[in-house]
Chain A
Amino acid sequence: MDSKPSADVPVRRPPLPVKIVIAGGFGVGKTTAVAQISETPVLTTEAPITEVAAEVDRTGLVPDKTTTTVALDFGTVAIDDEVKLYLFGTPGQDRFGFMWHDLTVGALGALVIVDTSRLDDCYPAVDYFERTGLPFLVAVNLFDGRLAHELEDVRWALDLSDDTPVVTFDARDRASVRDTLVTLLRRSLAMASATGV
């Protein structure tokens, strides 16, 4: 760590970063999915809860709750010689003040992974993405290859709009994760084209 890079060595041009968020309840396969598609080993960091940070800003005091964090896993894919895709996976549960804004601002879209035996775990993520207009897709992870509910029942139970894709996938299968991400991005593309940006 002590070797000094020479000032003459040209610094590499940074890639253009884009991101997709992988949300869903605990143990639904988020980290598994990120690991399948990532070219780099999955890294983990602790993310702060926004509410705590706001408290610090407002009062100048450090509240007791400063250790409140949630794990954020992420992997990367070099898309081409310029664009680098980041995949951020987080439980992002129903904790009030979870850093949804931080995590999702500018994201291309979000994958909400659900286990149909615990559907309600994904409500906070679905609520947030619907409210903010972030393109998202519900991916039912087929534990044991069985579907506990029909996909249309999942759509009904989550009260999803007709144009929100609901698909089944296998978080342990690279091609399945890839195809699910592409399906999400087609939805993102449709939404971006519609708003003309």
Chain B
Amino acid sequence: MTTSWWEPAQGGAGPRPYVDIGGPAGDRDPVAASSATSGVRPYLITQGRARPNDTSLRLEAQVSTTDDGARSLSRLAYERHDIVVLCHDPQSIAELAARLHLHLGVARVLVGDLVEAGLLAVRHPEDARHRVQIIERVIRGLQAIS
């Protein structure tokens, strides 16, 4: 995968990442570039990818900032920076998307990239194991609501 977003080149004052996402003009992603005129913003942020490589990232998966992520904030810009800041308080991809006004598919792609770069960690939901016990806990928790 391309890691052009990860280079500390933007310096905070450059163009929006979705304009410059392809890095140097020479290796600009033709999909992203051609879309620039069609005004489909969400897919430019993610270089035309609607999904992360890791499709197991669920809406409710809990995302948190790693030590590396916290140390790398100054090298991140825009959406990625905001995600790493917000995830100091662990939260789901759905919450991130809502808080940052990102399309869910976009939030997922960005989180996938940041996880791959080691800046975020994910706690996946547990499925089969302990399902009965978890359902019982949720029932008890709901019954405690008055």
The residue of chain A having its C-beta at the shortest distance from the C-beta of B128 within the complex is: A197
Question: Any chain B CB within 8 A of the CB of A139?
Answer: no
Complex CA gap A52/B49 in Å reads 11
Using a CB-CB cutoff of 8 Å, which residues 96-113 of chain B contact chain A?
Answer: 97-99, 102-105, 107
On whether the beta carbons of A77 and B95 are closer than 8 Å, the reply is no
On whether the beta carbons of A11 and B58 are closer than 8 Å, the reply is no
Complex CA gap A182/B136 in Å reads 10
On whether the beta carbons of A182 and B90 are closer than 8 Å, the reply is no
Complex CA gap A43/B95 in Å reads 7
On whether the beta carbons of A17 and B70 are closer than 8 Å, the reply is no
Which residues of chain A have C-beta atoms less than 8 A from B61's C-beta?
17
Binds B, one of A58-66, A110-118, A153-161, A163-171: A58-66
Binds B, one of A22-30, A126-134, A141-149, A188-196: A188-196
Q: How large is the interface on A (under 10, 10 to 19, 20 to 34, 35 or more residues)?
A: 35 or more
Complex CA gap A193/B140 in Å reads 17
Which residues of chain A have C-beta atoms less than 8 A from B38's C-beta?
62
Using a CB-CB cutoff of 8 Å, which residues 76-90 of chain A contact chain B?
Answer: 77-80, 83-86, 88
Question: Any chain B CB within 8 A of the CB of A32?
Answer: no
With A11-B66, A66-B43 given, name 14 new contacts (CB 8 A): A7-B71, A11-B70, A17-B60, A37-B142, A46-B97, A62-B43, A69-B103, A80-B141, A106-B125, A182-B139, A182-B142, A189-B139, A192-B132, A193-B132
